[in-house]
Chain A
Amino acid sequence: MEVLEYGFMQRALLASLLVGLVAPAVGIFLVQRRLSLLGDGLGHIALTGVAIGVLTSTAPVGAALVAAVLGAVLIELVRARGRTSGDVALAVLFYGGIAGGVVLLSLAPRGQATNLESYLFGAITTTSGDDLVVFSVIALLVLAVVGLLGQRLYAVSDDEEYARAVGLPVLALNIVLAALVASTVVLSMRVVGLLLISALMIVPSAVAQLLARSFRQALFLACGIGLVVSVSGTTASYYTGTPSGGTIVLLAIALFLVVAAAVALREATARRRHRRRGEVHAAHPHEHGEGCGHRPVPHGDHVDYDHDGHLHAPHLTAAGVHYDEHGVEVPAPGAGQR
């Protein structure tokens, strides 16, 4: 493949693979606790770190990581105090972060300030070999922590009050999660840019949420989706000449819309089919039961009745009992239920 012939694209694809895998693994906990915009806020704060890094000629990635983790800890401490002013405090922190970043970057020597756009919207093709090493270390650390503490993070995200009542270290776990988000923000900075980071954490999780039956399933599914959209978005951006960040996020959103539509369609079809089944014998003359003259046929978790060659399944609703048509032959167990 042509795209793999260039060293810069190989590094870009590796970076997008790491980011696509890691961002949803952290993002799903934010979706669970309905804090989807936390990543956005930390992205704002990271910009100040980047600016400080550029100004002091130290590594912008390292400075961004320090700024974002500090911001994350601060946010959790503000949240833990539970005052109503917390909301305003967060807003001040977020906007202070981006304003500070913009102003500080403008003070940088001529030529460096133009970097602003690459941090805001990503510049994946500038990923260096050293960057990749740093990204790999961050990615491994984040995945290790999620693997180790995932169940506790789930518990705290799902029901913080219960977690506190039974003595789980809620504040510590919240700070760990916030630090994970901060690390992911810095990891994703080069690939999707600070303004679009939240999207890569949240949108794959939102898709997984529509499809999964368990949290574990949702977590793995989100990581898989993130990986696929991230790598294919980066590849597509190479051919279309569009920015990688925007391309990846648009791809993820398109996937979300398709899946959401498919799920809605499936539910509507199931409802319609159910109504039709009920209409065949809308005015059912009697209730099926023992000795009603119709042969009972065990069917999955219930019993159908053989009514002149087709199967009737009793369905109890508030309006009384009606009979769903469960077909002439014995269908797959559970089909047509709900």
Chain B
Amino acid sequence: MTDRSPADGPAVRLRDASIGYDDVPIVTRVDLTVQRGEAVAVLGSNGSGKTTLARGMLGLATVLGGEVELLGAPVGRLRERGRVGYVPQRHTVSGAVPATVREVVSVGRLARRGLFRRLGAADRVAVGEAVAAVGLADRMEEPVASLSGGQQRRVLVARALAAQPELLVMDEPTAGVDAASQQALAEVLARVSAAGTTLLVVTHETGPLSGVLTRAVVVDQGHIRYDGPLTGAEPATGHGDHHCGPGEEPVRAGYRLDQPTVSTRPVRLGGGR
């Protein structure tokens, strides 16, 4: 092999990477490699830096030091960014002007097309498939604002799926979403993952996604505290070594580190907001 095409290399590679905003690092000196086809949960409490880590991979936060590679190319220089799917940490689709499900999801196809090319038949097929995958085929022509919060999140997932991405990054896709929508999401992700798409899900509770995600990366105070099988960062069903005070909110779906070689600190979750 003399040529190194962008198709080579891992989905994500961070080497000694520091990521933040303006000049303030939030994530410091992190090493992380995600191979293609992996399904990774990036876990951590609110403010741990897990969202910044993901945003750094996508070029949405500033890389202040080290290297960040996406699909085999430095993050700023990846030319075919259309191969990346992203579901931002938003609860709803919030544009001021009404838009239909089809219009929002069609945006997912734009990055794959040249700047002046109109979307064609193949794009319409992909949009239809993505909307069907999240179970909203019969709502295609409805204004997104008329859907429930959980359904709106599913529209954003469909937008990312419509891009037929090689790497799918999702930020808190289950937060504030009803149980039925969470289950629907888990099924979609299982199918996408089986088809070979790399998954990277930023979340503070794996919930129904535990069946899909296999590897966990736990972020705490800007550092990676655990990197291994998701089962190693298992849900803490009982109280474990954490004792709830009377005024404390219960942790709904937690996870606990069972490998003290990495860190002896139990990770506490920002349970309910």
Contact = CB atoms under 8 A, between A and B. Distances in A.
B12 to A, nearest CB: 14
A209 B110 contact: no
Nearest to A30: B96
A237 interface: no
A151 B111 CA distance: 11
B141 interface: yes
Q: Which of the listed residues B84, B90, B95, B108 has the most CB atoms from chain A within 10 Å of its own CB? A: B95
B96 A166 contact: no
Given A164-B60, A166-B163, A216-B103, A158 B95 contact: yes
B58 interface: yes
B99 A166 contact: no
Contact of A161 (B60, B107, B110): B60
Contact of B60 (A158, A165, A209): A165
B179 to A, nearest CB: 15
Contacts of A78: none
A65 to B, nearest CB: 24
B65 interface: no
Contacts of A32: 95-97
A134 B141 CA distance: 40
B84 A165 contact: yes
Interface string B35-74: 0000000000000000000000011100000000000000
A217 B86 CA distance: 27
B37 to A, nearest CB: 21
A269 B103 CA distance: 30
Interface in A101-136: none
Contact of A213 (B60, B98, B111): B98
B136 interface: no
Contact of B85 (A166, A205, A209, A214): A166
A274 interface: no
Interface string B156-198: 0001000100000100000000000000000000000000000
A213 B97 CA distance: 9
Nearest to B103: A215
B115 A209 contact: no
B103 A212 contact: no
B211 to A, nearest CB: 27
Contacts, number: 103
Contacts of A238: none
B78 interface: yes
A157 B99 CA distance: 12
A213 B116 CA distance: 26
A216 B102 CA distance: 11
Contact of A149 (B106, B116, B163): B116
Interface residues of B, number: 39
Nearest to B100: A214
B149 interface: no
B143 interface: yes
B98 A165 contact: no
A165 B86 CA distance: 7
Interface residues of A, number: 34
Nearest to B95: A158
Contacts of A212: 97-98
A259 interface: no
B81 interface: yes
B116 A31 contact: no
Nearest to A167: B81
A167 B78 contact: yes
Interface in A138-173: 148-149, 151-152, 154-155, 157-159, 161-169
A68 interface: no
B59 to A, nearest CB: 7
Interface in A266-289: none
B110 A215 contact: no
Nearest to B159: A162
Contact of A158 (B84, B100, B104, B118): B104
B115 A162 contact: no
Nearest to B84: A166
Interface in A192-241: 205, 208-209, 212-218
A34 B94 CA distance: 11
Contacts of A169: 115
Contact of A165 (B59, B93, B96): B59
A167 B60 contact: no
Contacts of B16: none
A38 interface: no
Contact of B107 (A154, A167, A205): A154
Given A165-B60, A169-B115, A214-B143, A209 B84 contact: no
A151 B104 CA distance: 10
A28 interface: yes
Given A152-B110, A165-B86, A165-B88, A209 B98 contact: yes
| Complex A-B, nearest 6 residue pairs according to Cβ-Cβ distance, in ascending order | A167-B81, A166-B111, A165-B86, A215-B99, A155-B107, A214-B100
Given A158-B107, A214-B99, 12 more contacts: A32-B95, A33-B95, A151-B107, A152-B115, A159-B88, A162-B159, A163-B107, A167-B79, A167-B111, A209-B98, A214-B143, A215-B97
25 contacts: A31-B96, A33-B95, A151-B110, A155-B107, A158-B99, A158-B104, A159-B90, A159-B93, A159-B95, A161-B60, A162-B159, A163-B107, A163-B111, A164-B58, A164-B59, A164-B60, A165-B58, A165-B59, A165-B81, A212-B98, A213-B142, A214-B98, A214-B102, A215-B97, A216-B103
